Amino acid sequence: MLHLPVTAADQDQALRFAYALARSLVLVPGLEVAGATVSAEDAQHVRRWVFCDRIMADRRRCLARADHDGPCDPDR
C-alpha cells in the first residue's frame, strides 16, 4: 500500500490527478492501477474510487473512470 499526499483544490481535481498518475504507471509490475482511490486527509476512511470498481469475468477490474457511462472494459 502506498499513500501519496497531494494538495488539490477539490475532489474532482484530485480524481483527475490520480487518474493521470495511475495511467502513467500502468506498466509497473505489481501495481494494480484500477485499485486507486482518493480520500480527504481528515477522512481517509472515506475513499472514492478513481476507476470503476467492478470486477470483470477474467478477474481484472474495469479501467474506465468510476461512474462511467456504457459497458465496463478492462482494457480502456
Per-residue pLDDT at 56 exceeds 90: no
More confident: 28 or 32: 28
pLDDT of 74 over the 80 cut: no
pLDDT digits (tens, 9 = 90+) for 15-26: 999 999 998 998
**Distance, CA of 52 to CA of 5 (rounded, Å):** 22
Contact present, 15 and 61 (Cβ < 8 Å):
no
**62 in Cβ contact with 54 (< 8 Å):** yes
Q: Which three cell numbers stand for residue 53?
A: 470498481
Among residues 58, 12, 57, 53, the alpha carbon closest in space to that of 34 is found at 53
Q: For residue 53, is it left (φ>0), alpha (ψ between -120 and 50) or beta? A: alpha
Amino acid residing at 43: A
